[in-house]
Amino acid sequence: MHILRRFALVLLPMIALVLGWQLGARYEWKQLNQERQHLSDLFTVSAGSGQMVKVDPEKEVDLSLLWSVWRLLDKRYVAPEKLDTRTMVYGAVGGLVSAIGDPYTLFMTPQDMKMFESALSGTLEGIGAQLDLHDGHVVVIAPLKGSPAEKAGLQPKDIIVSVDGTSVEGMALENVVTLIRGPKGSSVALSVIRGEAHAPITIHVRRDEIHIPSVESKVIATQTGSIGYIALNQFGDDSVAELRKAILAFPKDVKGLVLDLRFNGGGYLDGAVDLVSMFASSGDVVSVHQRDGDPEVHRVTGSPILPTIPMVVLINGGSASASEITAGALQDLKRATIIGTQSFGKGTVQEVIELPGGASLRVTIAHWMTPAGHDLGKKGVTPDFVVERTTEQYQRGDDPQLGAAEAWLTAKKVPVVMKTVSGSVK
């Protein structure tokens, strides 16, 4: 019933938009100067209110401004054939949601929803990069592992300023995605600003069909024994089950485990809880703080499969959301050593609520804290040991972060390339 109540609250304003247009279209238009005066009066009232007042939008919000603009477009716009009702309703709802200013709360059209579901299922087309809006900028969360974006050198936190010469400043995220997408084999030029640089650099990416393997695993032989390596590239529907299967397939004599969460942009919260539960016998995983009530604490399930094996978790700027929950919990529980670079810093929970016609609302409903009370949204997860990996090393296939993990697990020594952050050794 809880989901149904939320569904109704979202659905009703949308019905009001559609029915309001149908009813408004039945009465005769007034003169254009009257419309202009009405718009002026509305803006004056809005500007003079001075205070934010909590109201029931269905009873107290005056939507005549919306209908006035709609009628003006219908009456005056030079290309009336482009005034598609459904597109305009979607645009109005999208604008309503984006006005909140939360980049993670957004309205998704049926097409957006299909792309979202395709990404979680592991198959999509394009350049293979997760994008989001931060402070009005289109920011790369992470290039997907093995994707054209990764091969071309796109990095987490790159700010995309233009696509094929077209500025994306002020553009909606879905419109930017549309510009970047294209047929397999074609190329796209992305101008990005990286780090503290002021001048953009241009990265050419050849589009391709993208398949995201949820889990990749191997056994690494060292002079002192074998190490299990497992990369979790996303938290999809079956990712945790695949990871469990891969872990159980490791030889019994592996002396350590590397869990690679680099470029993992996250996914389902339950997946993070289940993952931590594989390695910890007890303790909290994350506390979820909603708008009302006490925090909801998620604890390990108490059925670990590898509760004591020495463990390193690799993270970088592309590790976000559920990846940060996992790394932060294992760090706070002193169950794993974290190696790599600072994670992305995405500390909020979203719920996807389905709407009629295949659209949906992705809405932020909470933020989360690690077991030690760290707010992941402020700075993310800080590694115990910072190890950088340059673009050139990516392109050559050199991996000093994985090398540092191997050295830590086999010798408990801190290589020269490492920088101690926490000052403590687990």
pLDDT of residue 308: 94
Q: Is 136 helix (H, G, I), strand (E, B) or coil?
A: coil
Q: Which residues contact 420 (CB under 8 A, 6 or more apart)?
A: 384, 385, 414
Catalytic annotation present for 346: yes
Cα within 13 Å of Cα(192), Cβ side: 22
CATH number of this structure's domain 123-211: 2.30.42.10
Tokens of residue 357, six digits? 């016609």
Tell me the sheet residues that pair with 228: 219, 257
Which residues, 6+ apart, have CB-to-CB distance to 80 below 8 Å?
Answer: 74
Exactly one of 145, 147, 346, 360 is catalytic; which is it? 346
Amino acid of residue 275: L
Kind of pairing between the strands at 256-260 and 311-315 = parallel
d(CA 307, CA 110): 43
Q: Could you give the angle at the alpha carbon of 305 between the alpha carbons of 300 and 309, nearest 5°?
A: 100
- Given a contact cutoff of 8 angstroms between Cβ atoms, the answer to whether 424 and 280 are in contact is no
Closest CA to 344 of 128, 106, 139, 137: 139
Question: Catalytic: which of 287, 319, 321, 360?
Answer: 321
Whole-number pLDDT of residue 239:
86
**Active site includes 332?**
yes
The tens-digit pLDDT sequence of the chain (426 residues) is 333 222 222 222 222 222 222 222 222 333 344 444 444 444 444 444 445 555 567 677 788 899 999 999 999 999 999 999 999 999 999 899 988 988 788 898 888 777 666 655 555 668 988 887 777 789 988 787 778 998 899 988 899 999 999 999 888 777 888 889 888 899 999 999 998 888 999 999 999 987 767 899 999 998 888 999 999 988 877 888 999 999 999 999 999 999 999 988 887 888 999 999 999 999 999 999 999 989 999 999 988 999 999 999 999 988 988 999 999 999 999 999 999 999 988 888 888 889 888 899 989 999 889 999 999 888 899 999 999 988 778 768 899 999 999 999 998 765 555 554 544 333
Residues counted in the chain: 426
Residues of the chain with CATH 2.30.42.10: 123-211
- Residue 351 pLDDT: 86
List where CATH 3.90.226.10 sits in the chain: 215-420
Question: Are the beta carbons of 217 and 246 closer than 8 angstroms?
Answer: yes
> What is the pLDDT at residue 53?
53
* Nearest-angstrom CA–CA distance, 426 and 418: 15
Q: Which of 158, 332, 360, 384 is catalytic?
A: 332
82 dihedral zone (left: phi>0; alpha: psi -120 to 50; beta) = alpha
Which residue's entry shows tokens 């590790």?
A: 319
**pLDDT reported for residue 24:** 26
Is 102 tagged catalytic? no
Write down the pLDDT at residue 118: 60
User: Whole-angstrom Cα distance, residue 350 to residue 100?
Assistant: 15
| Dihedral sign from CA coordinates of 91, 94, 96, 102 | negative
- Which architecture characterizes domain 215-420 according to CATH? Alpha-Beta Complex (3.90)
Place of tokens 């005549």: 64
Please report the DSSP string for 143-211 in residue order.
EPTTSHHHHHT--TTPEEEEETTEE-TT--HHHHHHHH---TT-EEEEEEE-TT-SS-EEEEEE-EEEE
Nearest to 175 by CA among 187, 183, 167: 167
User: How many angstroms separate the Cα of 195 from the Cα of each of 149, 201, 297?
Assistant: 18, 11, 36
**What tokens appear for 110 in the block?**
């049926």
Count of CB atoms situated within 10 Å of the CB of 149: 29
Q: Which amino acid is present at 103?
A: P
Provide the CA 63 distance to its chain's centre, in angstroms. 32
**pTM, full prediction:** 0.68
